[in-house]
Chain A
Amino acid sequence: MIKKLFYFVLMLVLLAGCSTAKTQGTDGKVVLKLLMEQVPDSDIVKKMTKDFNKENPNIKIDIEMLSYDQIRDKLVSSFLAPKSSYDIIVVDNPWMYDFASAGYLEPLDKRIKNAKNYDFEDFSAPLRKIATVKGKVYGIPFYNYATGVIYRKDEFEQNNIAVPKTLDELQAAAKKLTKDNHYGIASQPQKGYKILEEWSNWLFAAGGEIQDNQGNIKLDSPEAREALSKYIETYKSSAPPNSSNWAFDEAMRSVSSGQSAMTLNYNWMLPTLNNKTGPAGDLAGKFDLAEVPGGKAALGAWYWSIPAKTTHKDEVWKFINWITSSKQEVNRVILGGAPVRNSAMDNPKVWEKGYGESYYKTLKNILEDAEPLAEGPNAEETIQVIGTELNAAVNGQKSVDQAIKDAAAKAKETLKK
């Protein structure tokens, strides 16, 4: 029996070994390994690589798609290895500063300057700002996830409510739309990134800020206390009950099933909701997007970056240059990608084949005045720390005053680490 077992193991090991060795192209082609998140925007890029291959038959694009935590974990562990496992990576905005300043990313300024017909200024300004670390550019914008108000047009009309322009109007609208088992706003107070992302819109609207231009934490302010009190008030009066661990998915389901009338959420949720075969079913077409109250939105974005330890940097840049060019941006957005270039959002062809003029115009306005949650060293941790305190306040573990005080103190401590 032992002998049989042994042969069995040997066979399986060989089997596993066979499926491994295939990193180098045999036919003289350069194989570029891309690490991307498993999201529709990446599927669109995958579709477009066929066109890239027509123009560049010598470069083969090999895309590996994984989930969010998986790509972060893989990036973090592959940075420790002597040679990068990937030639192109995508970087989320809170990671940008840490990855760039640790020397894991290749600066792109020279390549941007030398590229022909490459209008870098065309990318929405706040997006460019995130990619610039200590005066150098380390990433090219891939797609945005800025927040806006997603709301039910029909319900707003029926109740004679205008799109809220201030926090007070937002609170009043949410309250008015709440009746029986129907709720005004689907909140997302999940600990960490999620609650800070939603609440920062409230903070900006109240006139507060997380960091000033020098990156100092400015959270301990009366504005922050006002914003948090109002946020909790509205969560308690107008959000579905017991939703204190909700994140994007739950909020989206709540809105798409008609349970809630409004949510502060990613702008590209609108096309999904208005899709007849999508999650909203019969409600599709009744949703609209507006700027957040106060006009300053929480900004998130993904970037294309080149790991410093990869070879084939020229081929990699060729691909990034191609996929982010004004021409391909239009194609990408028409296929359903979230835009990052102003020219694409102004393009009538995009309006017509995409999701309509008003969506792209609103989106352009949102992007013009949008700010990431945290910048500088340890941004990811800063976000988590603040988000934990906010969530504690929503759950009644801490008073608003205490939570803001602790959040500011811990964020300051984190920046110094």
Chain B
Amino acid sequence: MIKKNDLGRRRSFFLFSYKWRMVMPLLILMFVILAYPLAYSLWISFKNFSIVNPNQDHFVFLDQYKKIFVDSLYWTVFRNTIIFVIVAVSFELFFGMLIALSLKRQIRMTDVTRSIILAPMFITPIAVGLMFKFLLSQQLGFIPALLQSLGISINFFGTHTALITLAFIDVWQWTPFMVLMLLAGLESLPEEPFEAAYVDGASKWKTFWNITLPLMQPIIIVAVLIRALDGLKVFEYVYAITRGGPGNATETLQYHIYKLGFGYYRLSEASAVAWTVVIIIMIVIIAMLRGQMKGEKAR
């Protein structure tokens, strides 16, 4: 008879315990595909290497980072990316929740509606970008023409609108992901608390606020986290539509890094910018992790 405590701890003639042996393939593969690229990019971020200046390849330690932090463009780019992520993810969450709640109650034609609603996330983002570039183009696009017949004229890619337009393209494409996650969450909620609330005569709004949301909190956090991390890497829409314009209003981090590295050939600077992003996000995630652990302890 095997005791409960033995699980995952029993030593055999293998070097590692069972539980570590199960993780090994993942660790090895992650190490193989990520270790060298990461180390290389970190190493090169301490140098001043440029592809078109192969002779100038010195070790400058933190100079690249110092340069970045005083570069006003870097902070513009950073701000743009954060605004993009906040706008896109919050609207995705809002619409995602509305749609998921509506879909949950739907009885007829569920398969068709659900698969249509999920469809946008299955299109490659570059295609979505190019599609909206033309759909929204004044005179050439269908939507401005439609709006014009109603007497409305919007410049979707003007100074103050371009970034928001890009965020809403992201909303169009990725709200389905939110719907998917939230609907999955809603469908697996237990029934008892809702029946109890109904018996107590709680209003729908109160039920949603006091029961549904708290129960859904974990899945909301996961969905938002995944979308936010992905949103930080937005590239295709910028690349296809605005190229960072007007001015620098839609220049985002991923596009900026791409431009530095491949457009201007300055690999070191591009790597340094990338590492600042990695470090900042790691700090945010660790802070979240700590907050969560504290919350769990308090419970």
- Chain A: residues with CB nearer than 8 A to chain B? 69, 72-73, 76, 79-80, 98-99, 101-103, 190-192, 240-246, 250, 253-254, 257, 259, 377-378, 380-381, 384, 388-389, 391-392, 394-398
**A254 contacts B247, C-beta separation under 8 Å:** no
Per-position contact with A for B34-73: 1 when CB-CB < 8 Å, else 0? 0000000000000000011110000000000000000000
Bound complex: CA A241 to CA B144 (Å): 11
A397 with B159: CB separation less than 8 A: yes
- Alpha-carbon gap, A394 to B262, bound state (A): 27
B264 CB–A CB distance under 8 Å: yes
Which of B51, B144, B158 contacts A80 (CB under 8 A)? B51
- Which residue of A98, A254, A388 is within 8 Å of B245 (Cβ)? A388
**CB contact between A242 and one of B53, B144, B245, B262 (< 8 Å): that residue:** B144
For residue B266, which residue of chain A has the nearest CB? A417
Known: A101-B52, A241-B153. A394 touches B140 (CB 8 A): no
CB nearest to B137 among chain A residues: A250
Task: Pick the residue among B52, B155, B241 that contacts A102 (CB under 8 A).
Answer: B52
**Given A243-B139, A397-B247 in contact, is the A380-B264 Cβ separation under 8 Å?**
yes
Q: Decide: A392 and B265 in contact? CB cutoff 8 A.
A: no
User: B159 near A395 (CB under 8 angstroms)?
Assistant: yes
Residues of B close to A244: CB separation below 8 A: 155, 157-158, 245-246
Contact of B262 with A76 in the complex, beta carbons under 8 Å? yes
Contact A192 B243 (CB under 8 A): yes
Taking A102-B52, A240-B138 as contacts, is the C-beta distance between A380 and B246 under 8 angstroms? no
Identify the 6 closest CB pairs spanning chains A and B, nearest first.
Answer: A191-B245, A392-B247, A242-B155, A395-B246, A242-B138, A98-B52
Least CB separation from A193: chain B residue: B243
| A246: B residues at CB distance < 8 A | 137
The answer to whether the Cβ of B156 comes within 8 Å of any Cβ in the partner chain is: yes
Residues from chain A with a CB closer than 8 A to the CB of B53 are: 102
A72 to B155, CA, bound (A): 32
Instruction: Give the residue name and chain of the A residue nearest to B156 (CB).
Output: A242
Other A-B pairs beyond A241-B139, A242-B156, 18, CB < 8 Å: A69-B262, A79-B51, A190-B243, A191-B243, A192-B243, A192-B244, A192-B245, A241-B153, A242-B157, A245-B241, A253-B140, A254-B140, A384-B263, A389-B247, A391-B246, A392-B246, A394-B246, A395-B245
- Picked from B51, B139, B249, B259, the residue with its CB within 8 Å of the CB of A254 is B139
A377: chain B residues within 8 A (beta carbon): 52
Q: Which of chain B's residues have a CB closer than 8 A to the CB of A389?
A: 247
A381 and B263 contact, CB distance less than 8 A: yes
Complexed CA–CA distance, A73 and B139 (Å):
33
CB proximity to A under 8 Å, residues B193-247: 239, 241-247
B255-285 with Cβ < 8 A to chain A? 259, 262-265
Which B residue's beta carbon lies closest to that of A377? B52
> A190-B245, A397-B249 are contacts. A259–B139 as well, Cβ < 8 Å?
yes
Total A-B contacts with CB atoms under 8 angstroms apart: 99
The answer to whether B51 touches A391, judged by C-beta atoms less than 8 angstroms apart, is no
Whether B248 is near chain A, meaning CB under 8 Å from some CB there, is yes
Q: Does B162 contact A (CB under 8 A)?
A: yes
Q: Which B residues are CB-close (under 8 A) to A250?
A: 137, 140
- Report if A102-B51 is in contact (Cβ < 8 Å); known contacts: A380-B264, A395-B158: yes
Could you tell me the distance between the alpha carbons of A395 and B250 in the complex, rounded to whole angstroms? 13
Chain A residues whose C-beta falls within 8 Å of the C-beta of B140 in the assembled complex: 250, 253-254, 257
A–B Cβ pairs within 8 angstroms, 19 of them: A69-B239, A72-B262, A76-B262, A98-B52, A102-B51, A191-B247, A241-B138, A241-B153, A242-B138, A242-B155, A243-B138, A245-B245, A253-B140, A257-B140, A380-B263, A381-B264, A384-B259, A391-B245, A397-B247
Say how far A312's CB is from chain B's closest CB, in angstroms: 23
B residues in contact with A395, CB < 8 Å: 158-159, 245-247, 249
CB atoms of B158 and A242 under 8 A apart: yes
Q: Are B246 and A245 in contact (CB under 8 A)?
A: yes
A378 touches B264 (CB 8 A): yes
Q: Which of A72, A381, A389 has the most CB of B within 10 A?
A: A381
- A394–B153 Cα distance when bound, in Å, is 19
Q: What is the bound-complex CA distance between A76 and B262, given in angstroms?
A: 7
User: Once the chains bind, are B247 and A398 in contact (CB under 8 Å)?
Assistant: yes
Within the complex, which residue of B144, B246, B262 is in contact with A397, where a contact is CB–CB below 8 Å?
Answer: B246
* CA of A293 to CA of B43, assembled, Å: 52
Q: Mark B133-164, 1 if CB is under 8 A from A, else 0.
A: 00001111000100000000111111100100
The contact of A98 among B144, B153, B159, B265, by CB within 8 Å, is B265
Q: For B243, what are the chain A residues with a Cβ–Cβ distance below 8 Å?
A: 190-192
- Of chain A, the residue at the smallest CB distance from B262 is A73
Residue from A103, A191, A253, A254 within 8 A of B246 (CB atoms): A191
Q: Which residue from B154, B162, B239, B263 sits with its C-beta under 8 Å from A245?
A: B162
**Min CB distance, A408 to chain B, in Å?**
17
Residues of A within 8 A of B265 (CB): 76, 98
Taking the closest CB of chain B, its distance from the CB of A377, in whole angstroms, is: 8
- What A residues does B54 contact at CB under 8 A? 102-103
Interface centre among B139, B157, B259 (most CB of A within 10 A): B139
Residues on the A chain within 8 Å of B262, using CB: 69, 72-73, 76
A147 to chain B, nearest CB (A): 20
**B157: A residues at CB distance < 8 A:** 242, 244-245
Shortest CB-to-CB span from A406 to chain B, Å, is: 10
- Distance A126 CA – B263 CA, assembled complex (angstroms): 25
B65 to chain A, nearest CB (A): 17
Q: Smallest CB–CB gap between B75 and chain A, Å?
A: 16
A191 touches B264 (CB 8 A): no
Given A250-B137, A259-B139, A381-B264, CB of A191 within 8 Å of CB of B244 = yes
Which residues of the other chain, B, contact A98 by a CB distance below 8 angstroms?
A: 52, 265
**Which residues on the B side are within 8 Å of A73 (C-beta)?**
262
Q: Which residue of A lies closest to B49 (CB)?
A: A80
In the assembled complex, the Cα of A254 lies from the Cα of B137 at a distance in Å of: 11
A246 to B133, CA, bound (A): 10
Nearest CB of B to A413, in Å: 11
